Amino acid sequence: MHIWKRFILFEKRTRSRFSLFAKINCLIVLLFIPIIIMYTYSNNVTYNVVSKELQISNTKQLTFLASQIDSRINQMMDFSLILSRDPNVRAFNGLNIWDDRYDQMQTRYAIQEKMVLQSGVTDIWNTRYAVYSQQNQDVIANYNRSSGYDEDYLKRNMSGQWTYGDQGAESQEGLQSFYWFYTDSLAQPGMLTGSNLVIEASFSYENIQNMLDTYKAGGQGDPFLYHKGNDPILNRSADSQLSEELIQYLDTHSLEDTTQDVVKLNGKKYLVSAVKSSYLDWHLVDVVPLYQILQPISLSRNLFYLFMTLLFVVGISASILLYRNIQSPIKKLIQGLRRVQRGDYSVRLHSKDQNEFSFLFHRFNDMSHQIQDLIENVFQEKIRAKEATLKQLQAQINPHFLYNCLGYIINMAQMKDEQAVVSMAHNLSAYYRYTTRMERETSSLRDEIKLLINYLDIQKLRNGRIEYHIDIPEDMLAQSVPRLMLQPMVENSVIHGVAKSYSSGEIRITGESVDGYGKIYIDDDGPGLSSEQYDALNLKMQEPLQEEMGCGLWNTNQRIMHLFGSQSHLQFGPSPLGGFRTEITWELPKDDTDSERDTDINIS
């Protein structure tokens, strides 16, 4: 008993906790989770720091490029201002008093030489200058012009700001030049008084391309100059497809003086930085492929995750190997013990491997075999004890009935009722002829009904108010039941039901087969009991026999339980006739439940 209690306690603990295999897998997961979380956090911090530093560096470089362009433009504007104050330029714009052609040529040469020297300072930034004399309707330039002095050209470009292309004229080429016109007139900008000196400073888009090429050679970006509504000025090795997609994005977004954003194009992330030029009102835009710059970090992260996945697979494989060699044999041993606990002592365990568990399986098989032999011996002894108990219970019932019958004969003899005495003696003789056949503890329900009819006829002779009805299906009459199973119940109805009331006298005995159980109902129209008394009586049937309790009902209940099992029992309750009902329920053998007939016995 102590061994079984320990086993049950161990089984409950096993069910309430994880198995060894689950614990190992949980441990592996718990080891991996903090490592992955810490590495992911560290990787994200590194990624964000590098990305932020890249943004700051890119903004500084782009700002420096914009300052270089603005510096070159500022130099051109300063030179234009200085040039406007040059004596030769002022002389060129004076009254037409040049009588000497040589002086005129000398002045032109001096002006052109100064403009050529200024434009040739650096190869990367070529400049063009032109001096317009509104007084003389003449122009001097350091580049080849397609036309001479044009008054309309000056009027539409005199805005005081740098402009892109010839304002108001259609360009014949995609990319144009930037122009700035300066005059020392005190009049409103854009208005010419008729005697103004106008200095034109311009540079080609190629200058911007040169600066962009130089910038791109020192970095990883792809810069260009952008202004909404104009064709962008790209560097000479720009990715045209990427630039087109980026320009479409910029056309739908407003740019500030300094703008920076991460844009996803074609499924790839790009860092887009934009810095506005102070003079041109254009934006220098640089696009840097973040996925390429941060690729080593991403590659390191992916390799780490791959390595962790391989380690996880190795760990799970090791746990599976441990499960197959340890957990599975333990589980098999627990299942075997559970089957033994349920009463299956024929279970045997087998192992293909020769290890410690094979030794345990061999000892388990020996244990279950010994328990099986012991249980069989105890079971045989229990059967013999049950047979002796059945005979003892039956012997207790027979005298009880005999005393009642003899008392009745004495009363009838005293009353000189010879016919009743003869009838009682005849029925009593038939009864003892039936009960003295002790070679079997059971009989058919048909014989029990016949004996019951003899008993009720005797009781009817004693009490003329008694009327009985027996309705038992024909298919139940052949069933085997304990001897004298019904007689104590009917006797109880006669003595405690009919005899205690002058108005009652009906006894009804019916039977049916329901869901594999046979049921017989014994009803009377006597006074019956209260609900509390019914509950107390049903409870006594489950308790040991007590001195104040009659042995007839209790013995019958015990015999039914011994013969048919614990699901068979007596049940007491109120009767539909208004009195006491006794319900006898027993489990039918399969052979009995298979046959179904419609013929019933109706006895009144």
Look at residue 474 and tell me whether its pLDDT is greater than 50: yes
Q: What is the spatial distance between Cα 147 and Cα 168, in angstroms, rounded to a whole number? A: 17
| Per-residue pLDDT band at 596 (split at 50, 70, 90) | very low
| Per-residue pLDDT band at 348 (split at 50, 70, 90) | confident
What lies within 8 Å, CB to CB, of 332 at 6+ separation is 349, 361
| Per-residue pLDDT band at 148 (split at 50, 70, 90) | confident
- pLDDT tens, 479-510? 888 877 887 888 888 888 887 777 778 899 99
Residue for token pair 């710059």: 293
What is the pLDDT at residue 332?
Answer: 80
Give me the amino acid identity at 186. Answer: L
Q: What is the spatial distance between Cα 316 and Cα 28, in angstroms, rounded to a whole number? A: 8
What is the pLDDT at residue 600?
Answer: 46
Q: How far apart are the first and last CA of the chain?
A: 56
| Closest by CA position to 116, among listed 128, 131, 125, 133 | 128
Take residue 408 and report the two structure tokens written for it.
């009745």
- For 121-145, b/e burial (b = at least 16 CB within 10 A) is eeeebebbbbbbbbbbebbbbbeee
| Per-residue pLDDT band at 604 (split at 50, 70, 90) | very low
Q: What is the spatial distance between Cα 428 and Cα 7, in angstroms, rounded to a whole number? A: 58
Would you say 582 and 524 are in contact if contact means Cβ atoms under 8 Å apart? no
Take residue 517 and report the two structure tokens written for it.
């159980």
Helices (H), 120-228: 151-157, 205-217
Q: What is the spatial distance between Cα 457 and Cα 528, in angstroms, rounded to a whole number? A: 23
Rounded to 5°, angle at Cα 547 from 403 and 497: 55
| Per-residue pLDDT band at 172 (split at 50, 70, 90) | very low
| Closest by CA position to 133, among listed 52, 194, 209 | 194
229: left (phi over 0), alpha (psi -120 to 50) or beta: left
Q: What is the spatial distance between Cα 191 and Cα 205, in angstroms, rounded to a whole number? A: 28
- pLDDT tens, 405-445? 777 788 878 888 788 788 878 877 876 676 666 567 778 89
Helices (H), 129-236: 151-157, 205-217
Q: Coil, helix or strand for 153?
A: helix
Residue for token pair 């030794």: 359
Average pLDDT, the chain: 79
- pLDDT tens, 175-190? 788 998 888 765 555 5
Q: Tell which wins on pLDDT, 414 or 102.
A: 414
What is the pLDDT at residue 395?
Answer: 55
| Per-residue pLDDT band at 308 (split at 50, 70, 90) | confident
- pLDDT tens, 441-463? 778 899 889 888 877 877 787 67
- Can you tell me the mean pLDDT for 15-31? 70
What is the pLDDT at residue 16?
Answer: 45
Q: Where are the beta strands (DSSP E) in 256-331?
A: 258-265, 268-276, 283-289
- Can you tell me the mean pLDDT for 133-147? 82
What is the pLDDT at residue 469?
Answer: 92
Give the per-residue SS3 of 543-557: CCCCCCCCHHHHHHH
Helix H or strand E encompassing 471 = strand 467-473
Percent of the chain with pLDDT over 90: 6
What is the pLDDT at residue 333?
Answer: 79
What is the pLDDT at residue 574?
Answer: 92
What is the pLDDT at residue 509?
Answer: 94
What is the pLDDT at residue 512?
Answer: 92
Q: Tell which wins on pLDDT, 134 or 174.
A: 134
Q: What is the spatial distance between Cα 508 and Cα 468, in angstroms, rounded to a whole number? A: 6
What is the pLDDT at residue 5?
Answer: 56
516: left (phi over 0), alpha (psi -120 to 50) or beta: left
